[in-house]
Amino acid sequence: MPAENQRSVPFQPTTALSLRPSDHPPQPFNKHLHQHAMSGIEVYINGRYYPKEEAKISVYDHGLLYGDGVFEGMRAYAGRVFRLRQHLVRLFESAAAILLEIPMSLEELESAVQATLQRNSLQDAYIRLVVTRGAGSLGLDPARTSDPQVIIIADHIELYPRELYENGLRIVTASTIRNHPAALNPRIKSLNYLNNIMAKIEGRKAGCMEALMLNVRGEVAECTGDNIFIVRRGELLTPSIDAGILEGITRNAVIELARAASIPVRECTLTRHDVYVAEECFLTGSAAEVIPVIEVDERPIGDGRVGPLTHLLLRAFHDLVRNPDA
């Protein structure tokens, strides 16, 4: 049926999930939690722990000099890292793509992440795992580096104020496009995030905390640090991997939750027009979790309020991350 002849059909959940307001709203970290983060945090570097003020690597490290390395950002809930194995698999895939040999096995890294979390007596936390190429010469040649650095930081993070999870974000489209996949593939979570930072600056200058990035074809890719979803005619839509996006762990979890609730999900090409006429919009990421968007480029999304499907998936994700079997 041609799109112009289709009528909007209200979403009807077919599982036990309902559209009631969230009983357990997301718990983004608040400022009070930073009091602990400012003291007592120890950072893991190559098997040893250092007070955060003393955690150092060489200024000749190619991770610093050239952004030559990879990383993962993860969340822990009630002392358990959410989908740790998936994050580590993605880390090893990113490293393989840039011919960086991680000097630990996946299982050893898994144990180190858990140990770092426990050493810092953290239950709900953000974990940053970084692997650099190591110290070398002032030239680009990675063959002249040695001793890759494995760094694990367990601390707290607050990306957005609590009220934005309840009332939604306003974002703008950045003129800075996502990296061309034939240059630095966005699926590689590398230490070089200047592409995203430039778009973030544009968003900040426009008075927004996040910015939407397009790909080289002018299609919607993702935001500077989060994947994007829209709702159209009761269907959940998100850019496909070949749009030039990072395959987000939270993104995949939300897709699973939607399909489990019999919500139609499609990974497809999206343009700004699709976003402008969407009924709902939200972003996903390990640090951001699930956060609604109510306005893009000064255009209200739907009725300008957080939509029912967004509420449903936000609550479902909140329940998922605290499920020990997730």
Nearest to residue 89, comparing CAs of 109, 103, 60, 75?
109
Distance of alpha carbon 111 from alpha carbon 299, whole angstroms: 47
Relative to beta strand 220-223, strand 265-268 is unpaired
Q: Which of 31, 56, 189, 200 is catalytic?
A: 189
SS3 call for 242: helix
Name the DSSP letter for residue 29: P
Q: How many CA atoms lie within 13 A of 89 on its CB side?
A: 7
Both tokens of 132, joined, read: 């650099």
Distance of alpha carbon 274 from alpha carbon 291, whole angstroms: 19
56 is catalytic: no
Cα-based torsion angle of the residue sequence 285, 286, 289, 290 in order, rounded to the nearest 10 degrees: 20
Both tokens of 279, joined, read: 């009924």
The DSSP code sequence of 173-225 is E-SSPPPPTTTS-TTS-BS--HHHHHHHHHHHHTT-S-EEEE-TTS-EEEESS
SS3 call for 287: coil
CA distances from 50 to 53, 54, 56 (A): 8, 6, 9
Question: Residue type for 240, please?
Answer: S
Asked if 299 and 230 count as a contact pair (C-beta separation under 8 A), the reply is no
Catalytic residue IDs: 189
